[in-house]
Amino acid sequence: MPPRHRQRRHRKPPPSGAPTVVTPVPLTLSKPGPSIDALGFCSLESNVPGLSQLILQKLNMKSYEEYKLVIDGGTPVSGFGFRCPQEMFQKMEDTFRFCAHCRALPSALSDSKVLRHCKRCRNVYYCGPECQRSDWPAHRRVCQELCLVAVDRLMEWLLVTGDFVLPSGPWPQQAEVVQGWDTWFSLRRLQLDATMDAVLGSHAMTTLWASVGRPRPDPDVLQGSLKRLLTDVLSRPLTLGFGLQALGINVKKTGGSTVHVVGASHVETFLTHPGDYDELGHMFPGHLGLRIIMVGVDVAAGFSESTSTSPLEPGTVQLSGHRGLYHNFWEEQVETGQTAHPDLAVAFHPGFHASPDLMEAWLPTLLLLRDYEIPTLITVYSQQELAASLQILVDLDTHLIAYGANPFASLKPEQVYSNPNKQPVYCSAYYIMFLGSSCQLDKRQLEEKVDGRV
């Protein structure tokens, strides 16, 4: 990193149980920047040449731009042109068909060879017994977790269609008592049992498993999948609540409190339902309004709501979106008073440690958050990402407040698409909190703390 005195610095600022509200308005467009979604899609080619084109072909698309239009919400999913659910699920499964060992795609095989999946996990494919035997030392370490991935990938469809509705309602205990998923599940046990029974016995569940061409798993397997999916959806709002609590943000401030989700992508916006953030409101009974503003170059076009500074109704959670780079959004919206100043900034998996292009795009934002002394929470997938991200923040002279395992990490394992035998990761597995500058840890102390605490 360049010396601090040569880095860009922003001027200091002057001292200073209800349903989610969704009010669509035209999405604000800013100059586009590097996209972690686009980089991820393009990186498929480096591990499995031809895989990105296979995915587009199976989804009846001609280019990544067309794929991006769907993800952005500019083209309806119904435009895929599948004739029936069975065809859709088959085409989706076909995008996973390549040899996990030699990376061969179906088109590269002779007429006498076909790709066959591992009979244990049903989640990786091989072009023959030789590749499967050679790959077993690597695959055996993740086979059991990939069994869960294969079920979750199909069950997630119930969230997309709205047939799995999350339990919600006021918390019978104070938020301080809920230290993680164990206590949350205990808190919601009666509601959760009723929800699970209804979904397991639904017509949608029967149709799903009749469409995928696989035997329906036992009820306890399906119930475990629903619980993992539930934690995946609620991980983000409850992680926001965890940050508000840990950083001592006053949620009973007159006019409401504001959280900026920085670097938001289609993951935070494309399939977000209005009720997904109700649980954040229930976490803080008596709050005077919570305004969540998603800002990022990959914010879905359909996720567009007002970013007004008007006072919120007490007990209301309002979601809003803005497409563009955060430091541009700050100058255009926050500094001009069109959007509320944040009480907390959160970045879910920013990925700035992984790519020079992403780091270049993130640098002005990180410096802005530091210099304006915005309480900030960042989440990452793994301990390796945690250590790399912490070191970058140390180099930027941020004041690290806390970091470690996130009590509200998703329990749903995420498979690396083009490298199936890589250890699965979990969304928001670890967190980092910082506030302002003057970090007091040097590199050696930082490494010791990461090794000792996480």
Gyration radius of the chain over CA positions: 23
Q: Is residue 88 part of a domain?
A: no
In the three-class reduction of DSSP (H, G, I as helix; E, B as strand; rest coil), residue 435 is classed as strand
| Exposure b/e, 141-180, CB count within 10 A at least 16 = b | ebbeebbbbbbbbbbbbbbeeebbebbbeebeeebeebee
Round to whole Å and give the CA distance between 172 and 422: 41
What's phi and psi for 444, nearest 5 deg? -65, -45
pLDDT at res. 81: 56
| Phi and psi, residue 398, nearest 5° | -80, 155
Beta strand pairing call for 20-21 and 317-323: parallel
Specify the length of the chain in residues: 454
> How many whole angstroms separate alpha carbon 444 and alpha carbon 452?
12
- 71, part of any domain: no
Q: Judge whether 237 lies within some domain.
A: yes
Give the C-alpha separation, 348 to 159, whole Å.
21
Query: How high is the pLDDT of residue 402?
Result: 95
* HEC-encoded secondary structure of 286-354: CCCCEEEEEEECCCCCCCCECCCCCCCCCCCEEEEEEECCHHHHHHHHHCCCCCCCCCEEEEECCCCCC
Domain total for the chain? 1
CA distances from residue 325 to 26, 124, 262, 276 in whole angstroms, order as listed: 17, 37, 9, 25
Helix and strand element counts for the chain (H, E)? 18, 12
Which is nearest to 147 in space by CA: 122, 116, 113, 117?
Answer: 122
| CA 350 – CA 366 distance, rounded (Å) | 11
Per-residue b or e along 431-440, where b marks 16 or more CB atoms closer than 10 Å to that residue's CB: bbbbbbeebe
Per-residue model confidence (pLDDT) at position 416: 79
Quick one: pLDDT at residue 114?
83
Amino acid at 292: I
What are the DSSP E strand ranges found in 131-280?
Answer: 257-262
Whether 420 is covered by a domain: the verdict is yes
Residue 130 has a pLDDT of: 93
Structural domain includes residue 78: no
pLDDT in tens, the chain (454 residues): 333 333 444 434 433 333 333 333 333 333 334 555 555 555 555 666 666 666 666 666 666 566 665 555 555 544 455 556 565 666 667 777 889 999 888 877 876 678 888 999 988 999 999 999 999 999 999 999 999 998 998 898 888 788 898 888 888 888 788 889 999 999 898 889 999 999 999 999 998 898 887 889 999 999 999 999 999 999 999 999 999 999 999 999 888 999 999 999 877 877 677 678 999 999 999 999 999 999 998 887 766 555 566 778 899 998 888 888 999 999 999 999 989 899 999 999 998 998 788 888 899 999 999 999 999 999 999 999 999 999 999 999 999 999 999 999 999 999 877 788 889 999 999 999 999 997 545 545 555 555 554 4
- 288 is a domain residue: yes
Q: Is residue 413 within 8 Å of residue 145, measured between CB atoms?
A: yes
In a domain, 274, yes or no: yes
Q: CB of 48 within 8 A of CB of 84?
A: no
Please check whether residue 123 lies inside any domain of the structure: no
CB atoms near residue 359 (< 10 Å): 17
Q: Residue 30's pLDDT is what?
A: 36
The pair of structure tokens assigned to 90 is: 């088959």
Confidence (pLDDT) at 449: 53
Say which amino acid occupies 36.
I
Q: Which domain holds residue 415?
A: 4-35+163-453
Output the pTM of the full model: 0.80
Instruction: Report how far residue 76's alpha carbon sits from residue 418's, in angstroms, rounded to the nearest whole number.
Output: 26
- CB of 407 within 8 A of CB of 231? no
55, 40 contact by CB (below 8 A): no
